[in-house]
Each structure stands twice: as C-alpha cells, then as structure tokens.
C-alpha cells in the first residue's frame, strides 16, 4: 500500500516504536548480514580495551535500517526516492528506539507526486540518535 497525497498535509507526523531492548545478538546479526564486522560493534573485549567504549554499540547503518522499516511501512514498497541521515549519538545494547517521519512538503513534478519528510529517531531517554530526511513518491 502506498500513501495518498490527499491523506497527507504539511506537519503531519507518523511515529513508530521500533526497538524496546536492543540485544547484542541483533548487532551480531547485522554484522553478519552487512559484512561490517568492525570489532567495536560485536567484540566486547576489543570495544572496551582497545577502542575505549563502555561496551559494544550498534552500527549506524543498523539504526538507519531500523528507521527505514518505519519509512517503508509508511510510504509503501519501492516508493523512496531519497533517504539520508546523520548519526548524532551512539545506540547501545538495551536501548529502545522510536522513529518519527514528519511531512515537510508535498509537490508535483511532470510525472509524479512527491512528499518530503523530516526523520528523527530517539532512544528511551528521548535523546536524538539519528536525524535525517526522506522523499517518497505518493499516489
């Protein structure tokens, strides 16, 4: 199902709770699927003794991927034309994640209708871990 432009207006927000207690196993799973085995994401001894972190932490791309699920569930399959983010804070095991898309612009080009969104993902403390934007084709 794709979004219809008539159901959207500037300022409309869509929020989804995505993760309640991020497990180290999910970080390991993402490392395996993506091929990003940087040891500070999955290797506790390396992360604490070599890199100097309190523990391992999620790949930025895992957080962008989890946030992307909110987006594709909202705008529909194969509808995104742009998706970009800035990683503002690390995401640690045990964290919760909630993502919000807010409509910033609706416009037409010659061939299609498009919607622009602001994206924000926060952790269980309400701290912003990711900010970004997306653009999608709408009906």
| Interface residues toward another protein, by CB under 8 A | 18-19, 26, 29-30, 32-40, 43, 45-46, 49-54, 59-62, 64-66, 68-69, 71-73, 77-78, 80-87, 89-90, 92
Query: Using CA atoms, how far apart are residues 34 and 40, in angstroms rounded to an integer?
Result: 15
**Residue 89 or 113 having the CB closest to another protein:** 89
Contact 59, 40 (CB under 8 A): no
Q: How are the residues of the chain apportioned to helix, strand and coil, as percentages rounded to the nearest 5? A: 30, 35, 35
CB of residue 37 vs another protein: minimum separation in angstroms?
5
CB of residue 124 vs another protein: minimum separation in angstroms?
13
Handedness of CA 24, 66, 14, 101 (dihedral sign): positive
Query: Using CA atoms, how far apart are residues 11 and 43, in angstroms rounded to an integer?
Result: 42
**Residue 10 or 82 having the CB closest to another protein:** 82
CB of residue 17 vs another protein: minimum separation in angstroms?
12
CB of residue 9 vs another protein: minimum separation in angstroms?
24
């Amino acid at each position: 199902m794709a979004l219809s432009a008539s159901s959207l207006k500037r300022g409309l927000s869509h929020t989804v709770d995505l993760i309640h207690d991020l497990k180290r196993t999910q970080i390991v799973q993402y490392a395996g699927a993506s091929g990003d085995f940087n040891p500070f994401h999955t290797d506790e001894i390396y992360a604490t003794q070599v890199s100097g972190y309190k523990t391992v932490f999620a790949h930025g791309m895992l957080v962008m991927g989890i946030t992307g699920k909110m987006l594709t569930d909202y705008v529909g399959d194969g509808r995104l034309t742009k998706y970009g983010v800035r990683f503002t804070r690390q995401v640690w095991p045990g964290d919760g994640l909630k993502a919000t898309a807010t409509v910033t612009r609706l416009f037409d080009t010659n061939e299609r209708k498009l919607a622009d969104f602001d994206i924000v993902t926060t952790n269980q403390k309400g701290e912003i871990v990711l900010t970004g934007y997306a653009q999608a084709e709408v009906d």
